[in-house]
Chains A and B, each alone.
Chain A
Amino acid sequence: MSESLKVPTMAEFMAQGKQPEVLFWVGCAGSFDDRAKKITKAFVKLLNKAGVEFAVLGTEESCTGDPAKRAGNEFLFQMQAVTNIEVLNAYEVKKIVTACPHCFNTIKNEYPELGGNYEVMHHTQFLKTLLDDGRLTVEGGKFKGKRITFHDPCYLGRANNVYEAPRELILKLEAELVEMKNCRRNGLCCGAGGAQMFKDAEKGDKEVNVARTEQALDVKPEIIAAGCPFCNTMMTDGVKAKEKESDVEVVDIAELIANAQDL
């Protein structure tokens, strides 16, 4: 199955004197985290299916610096940013798509001041344009009538006001979209942002991801849809903590669309 994935690199495009339509920024989680790698592959399958000429940086990609910046290490962040911008600008990249809202936010909002100006899209926005342009079609079939709730990633929603693209994709699956008590601009964090992903939480009476998972379980979904590899991990852990893994799945929107097509 994996042989069928076409994942060209920017270097390969360059060697042929060509420019891809879009650069797929995979991100650290998408490259290394076992769960997130599945999301990466699902998205690539969709890109392949739609015939999108995309490329990745591969080994030339490096952390955007988001967790370092949010931990307070501006120095390390800017080193990462400037290095990445050098690579991106050398390849004359114009348009970037990523499945990680943290990479999305950082490249879109924090790179321009440092010399990196690109059109940046979250993968749910990109998939939506593919559907709108008829390059990709989905049939509801498999997910028809399923109860799906969407967890707004802070860095996609509040941070960048993207609330509708992921929801429109879920509705395209003819699924029943149910909203949690806190959604859209009031969405409750999964607990991973601001570099929390990489440390234990401070003393409290509950884990944030459990609190958020409880809100999700309250609306009795069959699927919790996510749009961020970190949220995905947090919600998956939350579902496990609540011993609900046999009833509820945590799935990225790209995976939903890919599954609907049996990709």
Chain B
Amino acid sequence: MQYLSNILFAILLIVGIGFFAKNVKKLIRNIKLGRDLDVNDHKSERWKNMAMIALGQSKMVRRPIAGILHAIVYVGFIIINIEVLEIVIDGLFGTHRIFSSIGNLYGVLIGAFEILAILVFVSVILFWIRRNIIKLKRFWKSEMTSWPKNDANYILYFEMVLMTLFIVMNATDSHFQDMNSGNLISQFVAPWFNGLSEGTIHFIERGAWWIHIVGIFIFLNYLYFSKHLHILLAFPNTYYGKINPKGQLDNLEAVTKEVKMMMDPNIDPFAAPAAGTEGEVPAKFGASDVQDLNWVQLLNAYTCTECGRCTSECPANQTGKKLSPRKIMMDTRDRLEEVGKNIDANNGEFKEDGKQLLDDYITKEELWACTSCNACVEACPVSIDPLSIILDMRRYLVMEQSAAPVELNNMMTNIENNGAPWPYNQMDRLNWKNE
């Protein structure tokens, strides 16, 4: 009987981590549905980006208020997790505050955690106020209803509860309070429980301890369904993020091959293709569904934290157009999830569901409103590139469906015939000299 709580804890740990591992596996499987992309270049620059942007939060602080609040929650989150390590050891081996044997340093550590816990608590409340009372515009755009809106608030409530439990746990731990080292905050909370019997206080302490750790496991498994996945994915995403100048859009290799063939006078365009080359021609140009995007674009979608910094800088969105780069990312993730579930339900094979990313999620109207200005890419604090998805979908519309707006078709015909987007003769190109 005496090992009951240890066994219970071990089961909890295994289940919590087991589910998490399962979700991670699914996540990786889904991301790998994307096309291959070679990102083995510029290793040192990529590590630097990850250190600066993900770890160093360099882009977060470009908006100072949100940036500083976020930094507090982020640092608090990471550091207070050292405490979780202790909880896990205590839980498994039936010890109590195993690290307290390290002496004074323990008090310093826990004292720091308590202060951080309060700072996190306050920051989270400010975040909640910005979202729900001040109603910052970017949190109330049309894509931020139902789940995305609730998700953001749930996380804030979660943090509030976890931080409260941490303080209550310390305050009701008479052994810890007697040590009188590190109880910087909890010593003021402890008197609230004064009238209660020792047994009740101990019960509250145990209760807070258990709920705290269960809460952390729930949180861990909530991630996969939440915008909060960014706390993990921000790292790989900033590593794999775009290194080239923002204005450089990728050249489609498949097109290069065809163009080279057409332009090479030594190749007979009507000859049968050499054996083995047929397979290289991709099934389609551009993207109409998530599988046509590359895996970094899909990783981008899972990383998006729905902060809306991109959308708030987007010239199209600012002037009332339907386009919202955040929605592009959210739609991509939603569709990818749908495809993933489809695969799960059909024994690992995707079964045609009559839907796709284009039209069913992202409309042409959104795609054609983009000015390719890169404001969204510049604004994103975790190196997401919504423009690349927009471009790939335009490519599908134009090269597979010839579905460009009429004016753009005229422009392209002009380029083809006259070497300029307007109907002027190429032979007149130098006329300005004599005008």
Determine the chain B residues whose CB is within 8 A of the CB of A58 once the complex forms: 429-430
- Determine if B263 and A76 form an interchain contact, defined as CB atoms under 8 angstroms apart: no
> B372 contacts the other chain (Cβ, under 8 Å)?
yes
Q: Does B255 contact A (CB under 8 A)?
A: yes
Pick from B259, B408, B435: contact of A75, CB below 8 A: B259
Given the interface contacts A199-B405, A201-B321, does A72 sit within 8 Å of B370 by beta carbon?
Answer: no
Q: What CA separation (Å) do A9 and B411 show in the bound complex?
A: 27
How far, in whole Å, are A159 and B411 apart by their CA atoms in the complex? 23
CA distance A210 to B252 in the complex (A): 35
Q: How does the 8 Å CB contact mask read for A37-73 relative to B, with 1 for contact and 0 for none?
A: 1001100000000000000101101110101111111
A158 CB-CB contact with B under 8 Å: yes
**Given A203-B321, A204-B316, A204-B319: A7 in contact with B433 (beta carbons within 8 A):** yes
Cβ-based interface call for A171 (8 A): no
Considering the chains assembled together, what is the distance between the CA atoms of A79 and B261 in angstroms? 11
Task: Return A98 CB to nearest CB of chain B, in Å.
Answer: 14
Complex Cα distance A237/B373, Å? 19
B248 touches A189 (CB 8 A): no
Q: Which one of B249, B263, B396, B435 has the greatest number of beta carbons of chain A within 10 Å?
A: B249
Does B420 sit at the interface, judged by CB under 8 A?
yes
Across the interface, which residues of B come within 8 angstroms of A196, CB to CB? Answer: 371
Chain B nearest CB, measured from A198 CB (Å): 4
What is the distance, in angstroms, from B421's C-beta to the closest C-beta of chain A? 5
- The answer to whether B371 touches A76 (Cβ under 8 A) is no
B358 to chain A, nearest CB (A): 12
Name the residue of chain B whose CB is nearest to the CB of A86. Answer: B263
Chain A: how many interface residues by the 8 Å CB criterion? 73
CA distance A26 to B419 in the complex (A): 13
Tell me which residues from 181 to 206 in chain B have a Cβ below 8 Å from any Cβ of chain A. Answer: none
Partner of B313, one of A28, A186, A207, A212: A186
- In angstroms, how far is the closest chain B Cβ from the Cβ of A186? 7
Interchain nearest-CB distance for A32 vs B (Å)? 5
Cross-chain contact B421 with A67 (CB below 8 angstroms): yes
Docked-complex contact A202 and B433, CB < 8 angstroms = no
- Kindly report which residue of chain B lies nearest to residue A212, judged by CB atoms: B315
Closest to A3 in B: B434
Q: Does A154 contact B (CB under 8 A)?
A: yes
**Interface segment, B86-94, B239-247, B340-348?**
B239-247
B304 on the interface (CB 8 Å rule)?
no
Stretch among A105-113, A132-140, A219-227 lining the B interface: A105-113
Of all chain A residues, which has the CB nearest B244? A109
Check if A16 is an interface residue, CB within 8 A of chain B: no
| B374 contact set on A, CB distance < 8 A | 154, 158-159
Chain B residues, Cβ within 8 Å of A78: 251-252, 255-256, 259
- The residue of chain A having its C-beta at the shortest distance from the C-beta of B256 within the complex is A78
Across the two chains, which residue of chain B brings its CB closest to A154? B373
Cα-based distance from A212 to B370 in the complex (angstroms): 16
- In the bound complex, residues from chain B placing their C-beta under 8 Å from that of A68 are 411-412, 415
Q: Is A145 an interface residue (CB 8 A)?
A: no
Which of A109, A189, A200: most chain B CB closer than 10 A? A189
State how many angstroms separate the Cβ of A119 from the closest Cβ of chain B. Answer: 15
> In the complex, A9 Cα to B368 Cα: how many Å?
38
Q: Tell yes or no: A74 within 8 A of B by CB.
A: yes
| 8 A Cβ contacts from B226-278 to A | 244-249, 251-252, 255-256, 258-260, 262-263
Tell me how far the C-beta of B347 lies from the nearest C-beta in chain A, rounded to whole angstroms: 36
Not counting A70-B249, A186-B313, A199-B407, a sample of 7 additional A-B residue pairs whose C-beta atoms are within 8 angstroms of each other reads A32-B429, A71-B404, A74-B285, A109-B245, A158-B373, A204-B369, A208-B319
Listed in ascending order, the chain A residues whose CB lies under 8 Å from chain B are 2, 5, 7, 9, 26, 28, 30-33, 37, 40-41, 56, 58-59, 61-63, 65, 67-76, 78-80, 82-83, 86, 105, 108-110, 113-114, 154-155, 158-161, 185-186, 188-189, 191-208, 210-212
| 23 A-B contact pairs sorted by A residue (CB < 8 Å) | A7-B430, A40-B432, A61-B429, A63-B420, A69-B249, A74-B255, A75-B259, A76-B416, A79-B263, A105-B247, A114-B256, A154-B375, A158-B378, A159-B248, A160-B245, A188-B315, A191-B371, A193-B371, A194-B372, A198-B408, A199-B407, A203-B365, A208-B319
Residues on B facing A (Cβ under 8 Å): 244-249, 251-252, 255-256, 258-260, 262-263, 285-286, 313, 315-316, 318-323, 365, 368-375, 377-378, 391, 393-399, 404-405, 407-408, 410-412, 415-416, 419-422, 424, 426-435
> Top 10 closest A-B pairs, CB basis?
A159-B247, A72-B394, A194-B372, A62-B419, A205-B320, A204-B320, A109-B248, A189-B373, A72-B398, A199-B407
